């Protein structure tokens, strides 16, 4: 129910921004952005630690939610020194706990992926042609998918191979700075920001609302696990701006 209300509210905000900006815009800007994200994933890291404590054999975390790529696409309306519009993004990371010896092989993988929809706003605070310096902010909803894969092989014979899926929806806000160099209608930018995740929705099974707990046993000390996309974002973006003024002058 909450997810549906969030989607409806976000759609209303997007439509309002679209029509409000379109009527006063001096141009439209299409931007593609990619870079490296550092993701906290504190709860999931603790979950891995707790899982290792439960094993009756030696294991090691060989990958622990390392920095990984993110991708963003936006359509923005330009008015003087301001750009505003909608942005969608995706990002992912993961971990592996494993054990291997002559008798068998065990691994426990977690793959975390997310897609988000947001509202983007930036303001140019300094121009030194062809360079410009901008402060930006993004706010929106982030939808996360978590996939577990746990498998054990003994003497080349599979003992088990289990997969589970969990989902979570939260809010986020990212402030940041960028510097751009422009040539005609094109612009190349370096962006540095820090994403802050809000909301308390934990990972749930999409079918029966089962949640993940750590320690992964039912007890009074168990804590529900939620995603942690908080962290630094550093990336490059390429954009193209179509000026309405130039288009109107040609028609005249």
Mean pLDDT of 110-133: 93
| Lowest pLDDT segment from 6-15, 43-52, 108-117, 223-232 | 6-15
The separation between CA 3 and the C-alpha centre of its own chain, rounded to angstroms, equals 17
Question: Is the link from the previous residue into 205 a cis peptide, with omega within 30 of 0?
Answer: no
What pLDDT score does 248 carry?
46
- ∠ CA 72-76-80, nearest 5°, is 135
With cut-offs at 50, 70 and 90, classify the pLDDT of residue 91.
very high
Asked if 182 and 191 touch (Cβ cutoff 8 Å), the reply is no
Mean pLDDT of 84-111: 89
Choice between 226 and 55, residue whose per-residue pLDDT is larger: 226
The dihedrals phi and psi of 121, each to the nearest 5 degrees, come to -145, 130
**SS3 state at 2:** helix
With cut-offs at 50, 70 and 90, classify the pLDDT of residue 245.
low
- Asked if pLDDT for residue 226 goes beyond 50, the answer is yes
What pLDDT score does 240 carry?
93
- Asked if pLDDT for residue 252 goes beyond 60, the answer is no
Would you identify the CATH topology of the domain 2-251?
A: Porin (2.40.160)
Report the run of H or E that residue 190 belongs to, with start and end.
Answer: strand 186-198
151 vs 162: CA distance, rounded Å = 6
With cut-offs at 50, 70 and 90, classify the pLDDT of residue 131.
very high
Asked if 186 and 237 touch (Cβ cutoff 8 Å), the reply is no
Burial of 62 (0-12, 13-18, 19+ CB in 10 A): exposed
142 vs 225: CA distance, rounded Å = 16
Q: How many other C-beta atoms are found inside a 10 Å radius of the C-beta of residue 184? A: 8
What pLDDT digit, counting tens, does each position of 39-49 carry? 999 989 988 88
With cut-offs at 50, 70 and 90, classify the pLDDT of residue 247.
very low
Residue 87, C-beta contacts closer than 8 angstroms, at least 6 positions apart:
72, 73, 74, 117, 118, 119, 120, 138, 140
With cut-offs at 50, 70 and 90, classify the pLDDT of residue 195.
very high
The residues with which 123 forms a beta bridge, in sequence order, are 82, 135
Choice between 75 and 54, residue whose per-residue pLDDT is larger: 75
What pLDDT score does 1 carry?
47
What pLDDT score does 23 carry?
52
Asked if 22 and 77 touch (Cβ cutoff 8 Å), the reply is yes
Choice between 229 and 221, residue whose per-residue pLDDT is larger: 229
69 vs 114: CA distance, rounded Å = 12
Specify whether the backbone of 101 is left (phi greater than 0), alpha (psi in -120 to 50) or beta. beta
242 vs 247: CA distance, rounded Å = 8
77 vs 79: CA distance, rounded Å = 7
Choice between 211 and 133, residue whose per-residue pLDDT is larger: 133
pTM above 0.75, yes or no: yes
- Asked if pLDDT for residue 250 goes beyond 50, the answer is no
């Amino acid at each position: 129910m909450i997810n549906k209300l969030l989607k409806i509210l976000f759609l209303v905000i997007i439509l309002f921004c679209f029509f409000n900006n379109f009527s006063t815009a001096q141009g439209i800007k299409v931007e593609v952005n990619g870079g490296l994200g550092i993701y906290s994933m504190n709860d999931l890291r603790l979950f891995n630690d707790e899982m290792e404590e439960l094993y009756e054999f030696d294991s090691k975390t060989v990958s622990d939610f390392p920095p990984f790529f993110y991708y963003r696409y936006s359509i923005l309306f330009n008015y003087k020194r301001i750009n505003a519009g909608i942005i969608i993004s995706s990002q992912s990371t993961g971990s592996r706990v494993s054990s291997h010896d002559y008798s068998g092989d065990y691994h426990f993988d977690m793959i975390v992926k997310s897609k988000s929809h947001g509202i983007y706003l930036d303001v140019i605070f300094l121009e030194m042609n062809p360079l410009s310096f901008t402060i930006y902010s993004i706010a929106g909803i982030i939808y996360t998918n978590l996939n577990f894969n746990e498998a054990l092989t003994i003497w080349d014979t599979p003992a088990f191979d289990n997969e589970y899926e969990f989902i979570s929806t939260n809010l986020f806000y990212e402030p940041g700075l960028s510097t751009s160099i422009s040539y005609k209608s094109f612009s190349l930018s370096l962006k540095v920001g820090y994403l802050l995740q809000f909301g308390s929705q934990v990972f749930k099974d999409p079918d029966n609302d089962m949640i993940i707990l750590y320690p992964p046993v039912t007890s009074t000390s168990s804590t529900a696990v939620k995603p942690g996309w908080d962290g630094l974002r550093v990336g490059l973006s390429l954009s193209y701006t179509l000026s309405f003024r130039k288009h109107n002058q040609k028609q005249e």
